[in-house]
Structure 1
Amino acid sequence: MTLTVVNTNTYTKAPSEEYMNPKQVHHFKEKLVHQKAELTLEIERQDNGVKSSAEKHADPLDQAQQVEDMGFNLHERQRKVNHVKAINQALDRISEEDYGWCEECGDEIGLKRLDINPTASMCIHCQSAQEQKDQHRAA
């Protein structure tokens, strides 16, 4: 199971609209709440599936496959849990009226970027710079 939480609901800005007006904030809050609900449900289903498949196999190959499957499922679960955390942080930024603004430079993140990734906390320029720094540290 892959992590694909996509809401095709995109926001179309009117020419005279102010950035991060109440209508836009409401749109993104709804999108985040919807994603969180979907992910939470997926995590619960996955947890129930792991519990129900925790049976002992006599065959060592079956045991090895079960261990591998459980490792994959745990990795996927952790990705979903981390995404829920990012959603909660975005919802906190909405409550604090900081949502939509880059945490590094203070510029607009942009409606298109937020529609694609509503948990984004940095504009594309600052995010790219951060990724380059991370790559240099890893090298």
Structure 2
Amino acid sequence: MVTKTSSGKNQDRLLTEKELLAMSESDYMDDAQLAFFRDRLQQLEQEILSNADTTTENLRETQFVPDPADRATIEEEHALELRTRDRERKLLKKVQQSLKLIDSGEYGYCEETGEPIGLKRLLARPTATLSLEAQERREMRQKLYGD
């Protein structure tokens, strides 16, 4: 993807994190930044799908183990792997929602306030839909009222 930097130059590569953070506030969620986050989210999506395929293969290769202790260990490993994949399944939905937000031009903005979420927060959690302040308010409400 060809993107423009703030200096107006075309570039044929994605931004690095350092370049992303060095950009001015007026460049927030421009084409180059959206391309950066789209790529990061697509990589995360592929990683999750690959892990799911690996788990499926591992579970298909069940072997008969006569020793009850060994069998229990294998079953516990499978249960742990399934819990991990369940968490990743939920993350996959968030990743796909974030990709739709990029397509609609709403990515990077708080769903409650409309304010920018911020590059540092999005780098740490690319699926974030709330600014740090809005997330803290939501968590405080949940703590106080059990929402």
Q: Provide structure 1 residue ranges, at least 5 long, that are not aligned to the other structure.
A: 1-8
Which has the higher Rg, Structure 1 or Structure 2? 2
Q: How many pairs align?
A: 129
Deviation at 1:137, TM superposition (A): 4.7
**Alignment identity in percent?**
27
Comparing 87-96 and 61-70, the one that deviates more: 61-70
- Residue 43 of structure 1 corresponds to which residue in structure 2? 52
What TM-score comes out, normalization by structure 2 length? 0.79
Tell which has more relative contact order, 1 or 2 (C-alpha 8 A, sep 6+).
1
- Residue 61 of structure 1 corresponds to which residue in structure 2? 69
Q: Provide structure 2 residue ranges, at least 5 long, that are not aligned to the other structure.
A: 1-15
Find the aligned partners of 1:45 and 1:32 in 2 and give their Cα distance: 20
User: Match of 2:111, SS?
Assistant: coil
Alignment RMSD, CA only?
1.7
Which of 128, 136, 140 in structure 2 is aligned with 1:120?
A: 128
Deviation at 1:91, TM superposition (A): 0.4
Find the aligned partners of 2:66 and 2:89 in 1 and give their Cα distance: 33
Cα 1:71/1:16, change in 2 over 3 Å:
closer
Runs of 4+ off more than 4 Å = none
What TM-score comes out, normalization by structure 1 length? 0.83
Q: State yes or no: 1:132 paired with 2:140.
A: yes
